[in-house]
C-alpha cells in the first residue's frame, strides 16, 4: 500500500491551548479511515488540517512526496474534496448549480461558460450520488439526507482522489444514515475513492472503515481495525462511557449502555 497523505507530528494550538497534539497519520490509497472521539477531541480540526484548510501550528503534511505548501490551493482541491458539517442554513442554489460549483478548481474565469466535460462530470456525479432526479430542486426544499447526498455529489464533481467528510450522518434519520453509508461504501469499492470521515456513530464507522482513529483531548489513543477498536474496554477509555458489543465480528455492532 502507498501512503497518499502523510501527516507527521501535526498539531494545532490556539491562544496557548492545544487543540491537537502531535498526530502522525498515514492515509493509504483506497482505504477508508474513520475518526472517532468525544466532543472537542479535535476531530474537525484534524480533518481541516488534512484537507489543507487550516495550516497546522507545527508538523508537516505531504501528498505522496510533495509538501502541502508546494501545492496550490486549486491543485489541492483537485486531489482532496471536503464535505463540511457546518454549512449556511440557506443556500439559494439548485442541486445542479451546487454540483457545478464543485468544478471550480477546473473552471477558468476567462471562459464564459463551463465546458462539456464539466457538465459530463456533473451528470456523472449526480448519478453516482443518486441525485439525478433532484437536479433542478432548490437545496432549501430537500430533506437533510438528500441535502447531504447533494453535497457529496458536489464533492465528487471535484474528481479528487480523497474525500474528507465531517460528520456525514449527523442529524440524519436511520434510513438516511443507511443511504449515506451505502453511498460511501459504493464510492470506495466502485470508484476507488480514499475516504476520511469523522463521526460520532460507531456503528457507521464500523461499517465503512478499514481503520478507526480514536482521538481524545487532542491526542491519538489508537488507530486500529474496527474489530480491535470497538471493544468495551477500549471504548470506555475513549468515551468515558460503558458500551456493550451486541454483535462481534469483523465489523462489530456496539450499544451505549444508558442508565435509567
Partner 1 sequence: MRGRVVLIVLLVVWIAAILITPLLGARILSFSEVMNDEVAGTIFWSLRLPRTLLAVLAGGTLAIAGLALQTLFRNPLAEPYTLGIASGAALGAVLALQLEVFGWAVSFSVVAIASFVGALAVSGAILALAMSGYGRDVSTLLLAGIAISLSCSALILFVQYLADMTKTFRMVRWMMGGLAVVGYDEVLWLLPWTVVGVVVLLVLRWDMNLLLTGEELAASRGVDLKRLRLGILGTTAAMVAALVAVTGPIGFVGLIVPHILRRWIGHDHLLLIPACLLGGGAFLALCDLGARTVMAPAELPVGVLTALIGGPFFLWLLARDRSPS
Q: Is 74 exposed, middle or buried (0-12, 13-18, 19+ CB in 10 A)?
A: exposed
Interface segment toward partner 1; rule CB under 8 A; list 3-11, 97-105, 205-213, 230-238:
97-105
Q: Rounded CA gap, 96 and 169, in Å?
A: 22
Query: According to the binding rule CB under 8 A, does residue 142 interact with partner 1?
Result: no
As measured in angstroms, the least distance from the Cβ of 154 to partner 1 is: 8
Label the pairing between strands 243-247 and 219-224.
unpaired
**Residue with Cβ nearer partner 1 (109 or 260):** 109
With CB under 8 A as the contact rule, the residue among 1, 39, 65, 90 that binds partner 1 is 90
User: Residue 91 carries which DSSP code?
Assistant: -
Among 25, 82, 57, CA closest to 222:
25
β-partners of residue 238 are none
Place of cell 496550490: 72
The three three-digit cell numbers of residue 192, written as one number: 476507488
Which residues 213-242 are close enough to bind partner 1 by CB under 8 A? none
Choose between 78 and 231: whose C-beta lies nearer to partner 1. 78
Nearest-5° Cα angle at 78, 75 to 103: 115
The residues with which 52 forms a beta bridge, in sequence order, are none
Judged by beta carbon, residue 108 or residue 133, the one nearer partner 1 is 108
Question: What does the per-residue mask of binding to partner 1 show for 59-88, with x meaning CB under 8 A?
Answer: -------------xxxxxxx-xxx-x-xxx
- Per-position x/- string for 155-194, each x denoting binding to partner 1 as judged by CB under 8 A, each - no binding: ---x------------------------------------
Three-state DSSP state, 97: helix
- Candidates 153, 126, 158, 200; CA nearest to 52 is 158
Size, binding site for partner 1 by CB under 8 A? 33
Stretch that binds partner 1, among 17-25, 93-101, 210-218, 225-233 (CB under 8 A): 93-101
Q: Which is nearer to partner 1, 50 or 202 (CB)?
A: 50
Residues 221, 152: Cα–Cα separation, whole Å: 29
Q: For partner 1, which residue of 104, 130, 142, 251 counts as binding (CB under 8 A)? A: 104
Note the residues at the interface with partner 1 (CB under 8 A).
51, 53, 72-78, 80-82, 84, 86-88, 90-93, 97-98, 101-102, 104-105, 107, 109-110, 112, 140, 151, 158
Amino acid at each position: 500500500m502507498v501512503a497518499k497523505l502523510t501527516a507527521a507530528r501535526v498539531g494545532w494550538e490556539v491562544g496557548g491551548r492545544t487543540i491537537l497534539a502531535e498526530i502522525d497519520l498515514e492515509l493509504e490509497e483506497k482505504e477508508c479511515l474513520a475518526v472517532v472521539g468525544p466532543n472537542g477531541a479535535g476531530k474537525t480540526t484534524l480533518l481541516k488540517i488534512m484537507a489543507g484548510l487550516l495550516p497546522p501550528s507545527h508538523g508537516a503534511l505531504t501528498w505522496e512526496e510533495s509538501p502541502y505548501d508546494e501545492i496550490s490551493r486549486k491543485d489541492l482541491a483537485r486531489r482532496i474534496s471536503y464535505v463540511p458539517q457546518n454549512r449556511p442554513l440557506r443556500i439559494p442554489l439548485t442541486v445542479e448549480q451546487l454540483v457545478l460549483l464543485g468544478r471550480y478548481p477546473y473552471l477558468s474565469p476567462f471562459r464564459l461558460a463551463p465546458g462539456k466535460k464539466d457538465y459530463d462530470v456533473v451528470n456523472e456525479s449526480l448519478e453516482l450520488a443518486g441525485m439525478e432526479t433532484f437536479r433542478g430542486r432548490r437545496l432549501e426544499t430537500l430533506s437533510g439526507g438528500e441535502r447531504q447526498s447533494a453535497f457529496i455529489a458536489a464533492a465528487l464533481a471535484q474528481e479528487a482522489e480523497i474525500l474528507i467528510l465531517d460528520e456525514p450522518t449527523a442529524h440524519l434519520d436511520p434510513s438516511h444514515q443507511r443511504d449515506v453509508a451505502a453511498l460511501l461504501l459504493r464510492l470506495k469499492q466502485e470508484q476507488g475513492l480514499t475516504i476520511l470521515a469523522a463521526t460520532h456513530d460507531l456503528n457507521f464507522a464500523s461499517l465503512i472503515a478499514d481503520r478507526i482513529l480514536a482521538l481524545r483531548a487532542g491526542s491519538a489513543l489508537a488507530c486500529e481495525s474496527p474489530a480491535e477498536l470497538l471493544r468495551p474496554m477500549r471504548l470506555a477509555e475513549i468515551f468515558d462511557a460503558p458500551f456493550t458489543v451486541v454483535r462481534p465480528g469483523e465489523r462489530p455492532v456496539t450499544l451505549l449502555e444508558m442508565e435509567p
